[in-house]
Amino acid sequence: MRAEGWRGAGAEAPAANRRAPSAAAQPDSRPQAGTEAQAVSPRRDLVAAEAATRPRGSAAAQAAGTALILAFLLVPALATSRFAQGVATDLGHLALAALGLWFLKARAGVLCLGQSAFMGVGAYAYALAAVRGVPPPLAAALGGAAAVVVALTVSPAVVGSPTQGAALATLALVVVVQGAATGLRPVTGGASGLRDVPALAASRQVAAWLPWVAVVAGLLVLRWFLTTAPGRATRATRDDPVAAGRSGVNVRAVRRLALCICAALGGLSGAMTAGQFRFVSPDMFDIALSISILVMVVVGGEGFLGGPLMGAAFIYFLPDVVRASRDFQTLLHGTLLLLVTLYAPGGMAGAIAAIARWLKRWALGRGARSPRPSRP
């Protein structure tokens, strides 16, 4: 009995002698200052991080790109000459193709030298469909879809090696598309091309508006896409594909998606080009065009969404400014690409941002040096 009583007493004594942990020993369950806000809205931290990594002065570069778009949107409405409307149309087609290549190279980190191949596929798909009675808007959409199908065909070689392998695969694609357009004479017309292609728009004024409407729509869609989870995965794939893969990002799928977006914009640009000239030939979409579009992206600035638009305008008017013939355009573009890569990696948009920062520092310094008015 005593043993049993001792066991009972011993079993009850610790329970009785247990003390509630002091307030100092208890962990503080109250949310710390700022912790609740971070837990409730993690998107705020993401936006702050993206703002911190965005190049300073980008607002000035974006304003320049917006002004360029507005200027060429007003050209079809104000210009009465066919030459001015033709210039606005041609530049819009190049800007749309450069926008697609900018997304693939600057945001996904994939080097592509075959944008002219996607444009050629879209142009021929539009011409073949429109000649057979397909409505021109639907034929243009089919042109973009055909370019996406071709991009999916070559994607295994592109997504595996985003630099050397992608460059070689897309460069070979240009040769293949040109060879197919020349060799399949019963379908494509051979070296002579296809003539009497139905026009995409009923008037030149509408034809000059269409590519810039597509450019604005592409800018808005890409701007929205870059704020989504796939868009952030695209940037992560470009910055560090190994770390992105370990974080659960399907790197190959992300690169494949970026290639399809690039091809869709390039195919739509080619379809609009065919609808404008009402003629398609293999010489219209050669390797020189791919190099020119790449130069537009690099010269315009890869760090800014409006960079390819400024680069397209600069490269388009550069031969007329320097009075260079077509034979020297490739040499001029190659030299310009080398100079920008070595001495101005930010391109035109980066230069505009740097000038804006310098002007801001100059204005602040001048305001600090100005004497204060004396008190009476």
Closest Cα to residue 264, out of 128, 151, 95, 124? 151
Give every CB contact of residue 79 below 8 A, 6+ residues apart in sequence: 85, 88
At residue 173, does pLDDT exceed 60? Answer: yes
What is the arithmetic mean of pLDDT over 283-310? 89
What is the percent of the chain where pLDDT is above 70? 74
Architecture of the domain delimited by 60-318: Orthogonal Bundle (1.10)
DSSP E strand boundaries for 146-256: 194-195
pLDDT at position 4, please? 41
Between 329 and 105, residue with greater pLDDT = 105
Residues recorded for the chain: 376
Could you state, in order of their start, the residue ranges of all structural domains in the chain? 60-318
Confidence (pTM): 0.78
What is the chain's mean pLDDT, rounded?
Answer: 80
Q: Note the pLDDT tens digit of each residue in 51-93.
A: 444 444 456 666 666 776 676 667 666 666 788 888 888 989 9
Amino acid in position 70: L
Closest Cα to residue 147, out of 172, 126, 169, 171? 126
Helix (H) or strand (E) run with residue 254 in it: helix 251-277
pLDDT at position 150, please? 96
Q: How far apart are CA 119 and CA 316, in angstroms?
A: 17
pLDDT at position 374, please? 55
pLDDT at position 349, please? 76
Confidence bin at 369 (pLDDT 50/70/90): low
Q: Note the pLDDT tens digit of each residue in 111-137.
A: 999 999 999 999 999 999 999 999 999
Q: Out of 17-31, 304-318, 356-370, give the one with best mean pLDDT.
A: 304-318
